[in-house]
Amino acid sequence: MTHRLTAADLEPGQLGERATLVQFSSAFCQPCRATRRVLDKVAAMVDGVRHVEIDAEERLALVRRLDIRRTPTVLVLDADGRVVSAAEGQPRTVDVIAAVGRAL
């Protein structure tokens, strides 16, 4: 089953024009901070890509719907909001760039 996120899931205006990096984080997650830096860097490198961070504790219904098991979890969405890649843990920049390439 392919998941799709809409503006209603992320808040209006948060979907990227070409791709969206969705990060599920929690308040005391140390790797989440490093993940934020990696995703911000990639989003700044590629036109039309946006990074959205979601507090997993505040969005439990969405976390359950997407079966998010740990933080950080990163989803890469294409322009239509379909999940094309998902990964748990702190990502490497090169892996995020490759995932964005699959979304474009």
Q: How far apart are CA 103 and CA 96, in angstroms?
A: 11
pLDDT, average across residues 20-43: 96
pLDDT value of residue 16:
93
pLDDT, average across residues 47-64: 96
Q: Is residue 2 part of a domain?
A: no
How many distinct structural domains can be found in the chain? 1
Q: Is residue 60 part of a domain?
A: yes
Question: Is the sign of the CA dihedral 73, 74, 78, 79 positive or negative?
Answer: positive
User: Cis omega before residue 12 (within 30°)?
Assistant: no
pLDDT, average across residues 4-18: 87
CATH at 45 = 3.40.30.10
- Across all residues in the chain, what is the average pLDDT? 94
Q: Is residue 62 part of a domain?
A: yes
Q: Which domain holds residue 61?
A: 7-103
pLDDT band at residue 94 using 50, 70 and 90 as cut-offs? very high
Tokens of 100: 């964005």
Asked if pLDDT for residue 1 goes beyond 50, the answer is no
Q: Is residue 1 part of a domain?
A: no
pLDDT, average across residues 37-45: 97
Q: How far apart are CA 92 and CA 95, in angstroms?
A: 5
pLDDT value of residue 26:
95
pLDDT, average across residues 54-76: 96
